[in-house]
Amino acid sequence: MIGIDFAGRRAIVTGGTSGIGLATARRLAEAGAHVAVTGTRPAADYGEDFGGLDVHRLDLGDDAALEAFAAGPEALDILVNCAGTVAYKGAEFEAETFRRVLDVNLTATMRLCALFRDRLARRPGAIVNVSSLTAFFASRGNPAYGASKAGVAQLTKSLAVAYARQGIRVNAIAPGWVKTRMTAVSHENEAIDRTILARSPFGRWGEAREMADAVVYLASDLASFVTGQTLLVDGGYSLAV
């Protein structure tokens, strides 16, 4: 990307085996970074080209697995917490599912930031978390997802202040409606799709690569004096009435 060079830098993208995470990993690699990605399944199960990426299988809800994974890299410049989960059909109103969604989307983000803090401080490095547009308005059927993503936005502010003296910048993006496997339940439903498009000023869904570009900016030296911010990347959806 013009003006951005990550040559010699090391990055980790959780949830980097599909969707926004994979697009981000590829963008970072294109800019010269050495990129490791995590997913919940073996690499061969995704049917994707992971050329140039180191793929790791990781359950973000497993504390021991997180610690083992974090013990590996000796150095780190960029941490992108992109992995997320959601449960539909009212499942998030059940305590066990609610807890699981928060563990993956919010608690694991905090755990990885803490586990990699010292290595990021040596560089110093940057953290980019992935929140969501649903952090800013009610999500009728997904209370855990909405709460976890609102938590990510608040956590980003807190860690930005806590880590600033070590030179670590902590920011986030909040994607709007983006076409991924996770959002297929909406963009493949004609009625929901029509409602979303009617409200979107651009009249279209976002693309994963557009979210990736925002992440790459926040991780780069172009954002060297930016921290604690959650950047809405929603095509103006949140502005519409």
Burial label, 45 (beta-carbon count in 10 A; 0-12, 13-18, 19+): exposed
Pick the catalytic residue from 46, 88, 145, 163: 145
Q: Are 175 and 234 in contact (CB under 8 A)?
A: yes
Backbone phi, then psi, for 119, in 5-degree steps?
-70, -35
Q: Are 152 and 142 in contact (CB under 8 A)?
A: no
Q: Which helix (H) or strand (E) holds 55?
A: strand 53-57
- For residue 79, the one-letter residue type is L
88 catalytic? Reply is no
Do you know the residue count of the chain?
241
Residues with a known catalytic role: 145
